[in-house]
Amino acid sequence: MPVTPYSGTFGREELKHLLRRTMFGATNVDIAYFSGQSLGQVVDALLTINTAQTPPLKNYWVLNGGVRDPNAVDAAVPFGSTWVGTPHTVTAVNANVYRMYSFMAWRTGLMIHQERSILEKMLLFWYNHMPIQVSVVFNGLLHYGYDQLLRNKCLGNFRQLMYDVTLDPCMLEYLNGKQNMASAPDENYARELMELFTLGEGSGYTETDVQAASKVLTGWSTRETLDGSPMMPQTYFAPGNHTTSNKQFSSFFNNTIIQGQSGTNAGTTELNALLDMIFAKQEVSLFICRQLYRFFVHGEINAQTESELIVPLAELFRNNAGSPDQLKVVMRALLTSDHFFNANNRACMVMSTADIVIGMIRKMHFTFPSESTQLEARYRMFLDAYYICVNCGQNLFDPPNVAGWPAYYQGPQFDELWVDTAAYAARNFAVQGIIGQGFTTGADFYQAASRNVSIDPDYMAIAAEFDAPNDPDNVVSGCADMLYAIPVSQGVKNTLKTQRLLLGQSSDVYWTEAYELRVADPNTTNQTAQMVPSLINFLLLDMAKAGESQMF
């Protein structure tokens, strides 16, 4: 049974729903860009990803004799150049600490300046599905390599992705793969491979299956030095550490025996046999399709959703098992399905912290400092955005455990877990700060141009996106459209207009004349016209407090 495609109207509301779920925030510019295109055209564009980007740069230094000195840390990398490609050397001042901060700032910046595609949202899905905690693996080169793997394979073939993830140096470090050897098998990765990555807990595999799989995976390790010299992180197979005996699996896997191998190709041969055995189970297709559904549509999956969408999606997944863009095919079917656009699945989820924070930054028309002239300030502001997410309950690169963030898997609450008492207050405080204060650097920077830099939302640019913004009703409606997935009443809009844009006046002319004066002359001395950006600020601050701003 194929996935039922959506055949209804594809207008502005449907477009907003699609963009909110596939990007971080749906700005008015994004909506205008896709306006008039068909559903198929928009989804195809969203699924066309560009994985090329400028790598993270050295933006750090340490004090050397009381002087800010970039050469006193990570000396092999010039300030403003990328540290990617340069082996990490442990010295008295450990450069890796600074590389990690550089990585986290850079990754947050990519989310803020995302292209109009699903790429960054898809990457967050994989960071949640197959996470690596920074608190466990604190290595900039390893995390950059893992990010590149997910970036390049996020819409590709799932089996190939699992093969690559299994042998990735960062994952081998995180789930003890490098410690897994014949003399002391470690079950950590084998267990998560089945329970969290491919089959799902309770699908039918047994404890003996985990033990057998761990023996299949023995012998793989990583290194960053060779003969005492630093080198780029590398995965290698040590035949002497591999369990060469046969591995017996349970009836769940049809009593499969993976023949023990020896020699340099033993690890690859047995890993492929293990993945072939796992991926022969229909549970893999059902499990990954449920995970995609919970992330992009809704946490709860009832019997009707299972039969009408999950089962046909899983069939499509299996039918494209050999396709290099298997996941892209599945995501296209999901995002063009009748189920995705069902009224019950719109504005039904609480935004993740990343959605609300990164989305709000994108909507506020910030102009971040230039990478070429104010690199430190630019990275500092990206890092501030990262820490805002951390303070609001979602450390973008350090989920609480290997299962990811509970809001993506823990029922029956699911997304409601984003807004417990502490997190809701923190999110509101963060949004108010983004709208009302923007981002500011201090004085302690190597680059003089990066010191005491401030950026604020461009309130006039925000208003200019609305139709006829000299009409205060249009400004209020435009802000509501930008911030809320759930419509608010005209009475609420009227109150907001009177209190915020008209400052208690009864006539719209109060706003219209002031706005037109401000647009005609940004340097006007008219006091009312000078207040226009502040009035928009007041309106946004008031509106962003509402619960409707937390839904999508």
**Per-residue pLDDT tens digits for 203-255:** 999 999 999 999 999 999 999 999 989 999 999 999 999 999 999 999 999 99
The 3 state secondary structure assigned to 137-178 is: CCCHHHHHHHHHHHHHHCCCCHHHHHHHHHCCHHHHHHCCHH
Structural domain ending residue among the three candidates 313, 330, 345: 345
Answer whether 353's CB lies under 8 Å from 393's CB: yes
Distance between CA 278 and CA 339 in Å, rounded?
A: 29
Task: Give the E-state strand segments of 164-228 in sequence order.
Answer: 220-226
Mean pLDDT of the chain: 97
Distance between CA 143 and CA 113 in Å, rounded?
A: 20
Confidence of residue 422 (pLDDT cuts 50, 70, 90): confident
Is residue 182 domain-resident? no
Provide the residue count of the chain. 552
CA angle 445, 448, 454 (to 5 degrees): 80
Structural domain ending residue among the three candidates 345, 379, 408: 345
pLDDT of 483 above 90: yes
Structural domain ending residue among the three candidates 322, 345, 368: 345
Which H or E element spans position 257?
Answer: strand 257-258
Give residue 94's pLDDT.
85
> What six digits make up the tokens of 392?
């609001």
Is residue 446 domain-resident? no
Answer whether 61's CB lies under 8 Å from 95's CB: no
3-state secondary structure of 460: helix
> What six digits make up the tokens of 367?
């102009």
- Per-residue pLDDT reduced to its tens digit, 488-542: 999 999 999 999 999 999 999 999 999 999 999 999 999 999 999 999 999 999 9
- Catalogue the long-range contacts made by 236-239 (C-beta closer than 8 Å, 24 or more residues apart): 237/264, 237/266, 237/267, 237/268, 238/181, 239/263, 239/264, 239/266, 239/267
- Per-residue pLDDT reduced to its tens digit, 92-121: 678 999 999 999 999 999 999 999 999 999
Answer whether 455's CB lies under 8 Å from 367's CB: yes
> What six digits make up the tokens of 212?
């057998």
Answer whether 320's CB lies under 8 Å from 328's CB: no
Evaluate the omega torsion of the peptide bond into residue 78 and state whether it is cis, within 30 degrees of 0: no
Distance between CA 94 and CA 99 in Å, rounded?
A: 9
Is residue 531 domain-resident? yes
Q: What is the pTM of this model?
A: 0.97
Give residue 202's pLDDT.
96
Decide: residue 166, CB within 10 A, 0-12 exposed, 13-18 middle, 19+ buried. buried
Give residue 90's pLDDT.
73
Distance between CA 144 and CA 233 in Å, rounded?
A: 11
> What six digits make up the tokens of 156?
């590709």
pLDDT of 157 above 70: yes
Distance of CA 510 to the CA centre of its chain: 43
Distance between CA 265 and CA 456 in Å, rounded?
A: 57
How many percent of the chain have pLDDT more than 70? 100
Is residue 232 domain-resident? no
Residue among 77, 85, 76 nearest 58 (CA): 77
Give residue 92's pLDDT.
63
Distance between CA 90 and CA 356 in Å, rounded?
A: 38
Q: Which residue has the tokens 């001042």?
A: 93
From residue 33, how far is each of 15, 28, 268 by CA, in Å?
11, 8, 46
Decide: residue 352, CB within 10 A, 0-12 exposed, 13-18 middle, 19+ buried. buried
Orientation of helix 421-436 relative to helix 375-391, angle to 10°: 150
How large is the average pLDDT for residues 315-335?
98
Which H or E element spans position 203?
Answer: none
Total domains in the chain come to 2
Is residue 311 domain-resident? yes
Answer whether 164's CB lies under 8 Å from 153's CB: yes
How large is the average pLDDT for residues 441-449?
98
The 3 state secondary structure assigned to 376-439 is: HHHHHHHHHHHHHHHHCCCCCCCCCCCCCCHHHCCCCCHHHHHHCHHHHHHHHHHHHHHHHCCE
Distance between CA 510 and CA 520 in Å, rounded?
A: 16
Decide: residue 54, CB within 10 A, 0-12 exposed, 13-18 middle, 19+ buried. exposed
First to last CA, the chain: 30
Is residue 143 domain-resident? no
State the Cα torsion 6-128-27-356 to the nearest 10°.
120
| Helix-, strand-, coil-residue percentages of the chain, each rounded to 5 | 55, 5, 40
- Per-residue pLDDT reduced to its tens digit, 165-206: 999 999 999 999 999 999 999 999 999 999 999 999 999 999
Residue among 187, 192, 65, 146 nearest 397 (CA): 146
Is residue 381 domain-resident? no
CA angle 412, 413, 418 (to 5 degrees): 155
Q: Could you tell me the residue range of the domain that residue 340 belongs to?
A: 12-46+300-345
How large is the average pLDDT for residues 275-284?
98
Is residue 270 domain-resident? no
